[in-house]
Amino acid sequence: MCTVQKRTDRVMYARNQQYKYSREPVTGGQPITVEQAKALRLAVFGACDTPPRGEWFRTGLVFRDPEKELSYGLRARRNGTRGMLSAIQGYILKHLLFTGCGSSCLKPSKQQQLDALSRSLTTILWKTGENKQVVICLPQEKSYVSHSLNYFQDNVTEKLHLFELTNVEDLEIFIKRYLHLFQDDPGPGSLLLLYSAVLTRGLSKTMSDLMEEKSYLISNAEEGSICIVTLLLTGRATPNLHNGIINIGDEHHYAIPHYGVLARSEVGLLVHYEETATPAQITQIPGSRLKTPSYPIWVVCAKGHYGVLFNTNRELLRNHLAERRFPLTYYSCSGTENYATVDTRTHHNTGGCRSSRANASDDVNNTNPQLLLIECLIHTKWEGASVQWTGVTNAMN
């Protein structure tokens, strides 16, 4: 009882102190070894003897100006980090809307922004560590791996200190203390989180999740690999989005188990493929555990472009009556918010996205090709529903 009370006191103290978000220098931890640095670079970038993709070293987790339109949103350039930032954005919306003060938190103060971000990172890493242990990577000044033919220094990986935490309250306090390192812009905040998630999951488990030999997390996809998104949403870096385990094989090969999503996700995922799904894509179609998450928030991927769909009513996915006619908001980290009304009472025989485009409603945005793709994504969840786009807000900062 005494131990529980002490932990509670530490958490309440951290939440109530303004200095928790100061630029405190990093102290402690274990310096990264040469073997760990090389293995980490191989797992994430696929090589350790060449320069890694630069956007991961200059993309921090940065909000828009507080107490304004879209101030709940992270900024994200159109590069390989956007998928990951969209996943973080989903958790930020969860904390603002459903553990904060509801829809009024969509114009959060600076303090509310920081609280939502720190709690989101805590949730992501604790889930990845299976609610047992988390490894956080933070950089210091000293380099522990020399530049050589076998290792190309990137000025971050070789300077990491590793911190192990086995209690979620201590993890939250730790992240609050060093949140500025994730927010520096330009800075490696996105990479620090990805490294932390990989080490928390475990290098061998992460590589096993990917299922392919010689594969690695950061792909050539313009806005990032789906495996990075699933790592943050489900705790496993799987390319398979179906429910549970599917054994795939034929008369010439033994059936191989493909592990998909093993539990209902808090934040969902919707994916749209332009072409008809091939047999190889069957496991890449989201199952109900992603389509019907615990909260009405979905990371969406339309032809490789990421964003977030959300509704502010927690009952949307609990009461079928709430799904008759409801609003959805589509947020892109580029700084655009589009509003739609979805009506499932009148079902159209769309026959897929082509007919959906032909039957697009006469609204102000019906010529926007990206929004037509988002309609296709909405139809993967609410097949045949009417979707009307009713407005748009663009960030001023």
From the centroid of its chain, how far is CA 194? Answer: 10
Spatial distance between the Cα atoms of 132 and 137, rounded to a whole number of angstroms: 17
**What region does 362 belong to: left with phi over 0, alpha with psi -120 to 50, or beta?**
beta
Residue 235 inside a domain? The answer is no
β-partners of residue 30 are 162
Residues 147, 257, single domain; the answer is: no
Domain boundary residue, one of 192, 222, 252: 222
How many domains are there within the chain?
2
The mean per-residue pLDDT over the stretch 371-393 comes to 93
Domain boundary residue, one of 222, 249, 273: 222
Spatial distance between the Cα atoms of 247 and 256, rounded to a whole number of angstroms: 5
Residues 268, 396, single domain; the answer is: yes
Strands of the sheet containing 325-332, edge to edge, are 268-272, 297-302, 305-310, 325-332, 336-343, 386-394
Spatial distance between the Cα atoms of 250 and 20, rounded to a whole number of angstroms: 57
Asked whether the beta carbons of 243 and 204 are under 8 A apart, the reply is no
**Which range of residues forms the domain containing residue 287?**
240-397
pLDDT value at residue 354: 43
Residue 232 inside a domain? The answer is no
Residues 208, 264, single domain; the answer is: no
Those residues whose C-beta lies under 8 Å from the C-beta of residue 354, and which sit 6 or more positions away, are none
Residue 390 inside a domain? The answer is yes
Q: What is the pLDDT of residues 313-348, one digit of tens each?
A: 999 998 889 999 999 999 998 889 999 999 998 765
Asked whether the beta carbons of 229 and 299 are under 8 A apart, the reply is yes
Q: What is the pLDDT of residues 50-98, one digit of tens each?
A: 999 999 999 999 999 999 999 999 998 889 999 999 999 999 999 999 9
pLDDT value at residue 370: 84
pLDDT value at residue 78: 87
Question: What kind and span of H or E run contains 31?
Answer: strand 30-31
Residue 234 inside a domain? The answer is no
Pair of tokens at residue 54: 């630069």
Those residues whose C-beta lies under 8 Å from the C-beta of residue 155, and which sit 6 or more positions away, are 57
pLDDT band of residue 252 (cuts 50, 70, 90) is low
Residue 304 inside a domain? The answer is yes
Other Cβ atoms less than 10 A from the Cβ of 336: the count is 16
| SS3 category, 182 | helix
Given a cut of 50, is residue 14 above it in pLDDT? no
β-partners of residue 75 are none
Question: What predicted TM-score, i.e. pTM, was given to this entire model?
Answer: 0.89
Residues 207, 277, single domain; the answer is: no
Find the range with the poorest average confidence among 37-46, 155-164, 205-214.
205-214
Residue 74 inside a domain? The answer is yes
